[in-house]
Amino acid sequence: MSTTRNEAELQAMAKDHLWMHFTRQSTMEKSGVPIIVKGDGHHIWDAKGKQYFDGLAGLFVVNAGHGRRRLAETAARQASELAFFPLWSYAHPAAIELADRLADEAPGDLNRVFFSTGGGEAVETALKLAKHYWKLMGKPTKHKVISRSVAYHGTPHGALAITGIPAMKSMFEPVAPGGFRVPNTNFYRAAEMGAPADDEEAFGRWAADRIEEMILFEGADTVAAVFLEPVQNSGGCFPPPPGYFARVREICDRHDVLLVSDEVICAFGRLGHTFACTGLGYVPDMITCAKGMTSGYSPIGATIVSDRIYEPFSHGDMSFPHGYTFGGHPVSAAVALENLAIFDEEGLNQRVRENSPLFRAELEKLLDLPLVGDVRGDGYFFGIELVKDKGTKETFDDAESERLLRGFLSPALFEAGLYCRADDRGDPVIQLAPPLTIGQPEFREIEQILRDVLTRAQAVL
């Protein structure tokens, strides 16, 4: 029987034994770690009883909001009937029904669903499947993958070949070979890339053409796939310019290269559709997804695959020698189905589509502040880029960024009651991705907290 610990006891236990993810462990030594004990709607509470606005939906995850008893009860009900069984030569109803639901929602002929337990595993699956597919098609030299600068596609060793953030890879070198980078779609920094800076559509064509340039440079007979997020997360919410994905699809088709839509963040309502590629008007060869599928109430991921890629695996003695013990877990699959039922009943996708312009307008009010250079994004997914000089778009050096983001903004925003993300994997940004249940009053609340903290931030520079 578990015992309720007080905060001091929990802090001591964390300091002695807990290894935080993507976190400087030294911070626990100095000041402890925020301990979150409760969530309800778009709010969370810490062990001291203080309430915060969850402006990041956990980590782009809790799309339907915290405290959904219905999802917890679904998990308990499924666990009481069938707590676990693997998908290795066997199946269970929850995974079958969820695969059917996802295939029904996916565009085009993406009809086959391979389950995993999270986003990194879904990307790893897509990478291995692309390589295996081309070998079966008699093109064994097609093994290279292309992704965008500063893009994050996960931390499994294979997925690191696709991730475009050098600082996240250098300590693990050599990573899997064959990963190549092209420019991202940061229109705010177009001039610095030598790209068209006064015409967004021309910039989009330029950015897409860099993918073709890389395919031709490496040789189309060596390139297996292109991995792209609908809106690139790392670097601060880079939306696709008009026509970008249509051009990329055309390029991939011309050179017989697979297009993978990495929707680990962007699927399940984040951009106002079950799958973001549907709203953006393109049909990929694979979709990777996770996070919002269960709104975080139980872990799951999936790689959704076209009939074309599935076909060589569908007959004879052929199998895909890849899998995960907990992939398609019965409890997670049941929760996902119930979560998607909530999306249907409450119209969450439509809510995001209708309210996104209001959210953007509220955040764009911050452009009158000296620190705010750009506001960008889509759906309920926005980034606010911070600059030293608005006129020149000059950014901060490493020491200034450290002082601004980690020294002031992260603790100040949290103290002000807003959990969001201050990030500098690219240029310094604040990222927002709240639960999909919020509306205009909450947009104003977020803007007011950001305005206060960003106004005070100027004094630390």
> 292: which DSSP letter?
G
pLDDT tens for 40-51 read 999 999 999 999
Contact, 264 vs 301, CB < 8 A? yes
- Alpha carbon distances (Å) from 68 to 95, 297, 386, 414, 449: 21, 9, 35, 24, 26
pTM: 0.96
458 half-sphere exposure, CB direction, 13 A CA radius = 10
Angle CA 282–60–172, to nearest 5: 90
DSSP states along 17-47: H---TTS-THHHHHH----EEEEEBTEEEET
Q: What is the mean pLDDT of residues 240-247?
A: 98
348 close to 65: Cβ distance less than 8 angstroms: no
In the DSSP assignment, the letter for residue 307 is: H
Distance CA 403, CA 394 (A): 16
Can you tell me the mean pLDDT for 76-103? 97
Residue type present at position 242: P
> Does the pLDDT value for residue 111 go beyond 70?
yes
Lowest mean pLDDT, pick from 146-155, 345-354, 365-374, 393-402? 393-402
Q: In the chain, which segments carry CATH 3.90.1150.10? A: 34-67+347-458
pLDDT score of 345: 98
Q: Is the pLDDT of residue 259 over 60?
A: yes
User: What's the mean per-residue pLDDT of the chain?
Assistant: 95
Q: What is the DSSP letter of 343?
A: H
* CA 108 vs CA 273, 277, 293, 302: distances in Å: 15, 11, 20, 17
**What is the share, in percent, of the chain residues with pLDDT greater than 70?**
99
Name the class of domain 71-346: alpha beta
As a whole number, mean pLDDT of residues 227-241 equals: 96
pLDDT at site 423: 84
Q: Please name which of 423, 416, 426, 424 lies closest in space to residue 447, comparing C-alpha atoms.
A: 416
| 78 CB-near residues (< 8 Å, 6+ apart) | 94, 330, 331, 334, 335
Separation of alpha carbons 369 and 141, rounded Å: 52
Q: How far is it, in rounded angstroms, from Cα 293 to Cα 340?
A: 7
CATH for 34-67+347-458, options being 3.90.1150.10, 3.30.750.80, 3.40.630.10, 3.40.50.1370: 3.90.1150.10
β-pair partners for 382: 377, 432
Task: Tell me the pLDDT band of 116, cut-offs 50, 70 and 90.
Answer: very high
Does residue 323 carry a pLDDT above 60? yes
pLDDT higher than 50, residue 113 = yes
- Mean of pLDDT values over 385-398: 94
Is the confidence at residue 2, as pLDDT, over 60? no
Quick check: 230 and 280 in contact, CB under 8 A? yes
Q: How far apart are the C-alpha atoms of 60 and 186, rounded to whole Å? A: 20
pLDDT at 29 over 90: no
Q: What is the pLDDT of residue 263?
A: 98
Dump the DSSP string for 76-124.
HHHHHH------SS---HHHHHHHHHHHHHSSTTEEEEEEESSHHHHHH
The CATH 3.40.640.10 domain(s) of the chain lie at 71-346
pLDDT higher than 90, residue 1: no
What is the predicted pLDDT for the residue at 3?
59
For 168-198, write each residue's pLDDT tens digit.
899 999 998 899 999 999 999 999 999 999 9
3-state DSSP assignment of residue 294: coil
Q: Above 70 in pLDDT, residue 140?
A: yes
**182/151 Cα distance (integer angstroms):** 10
Q: Which two tokens stand for residue 189?
A: 């920094």
Token pair, residue 170, equals 């250098």
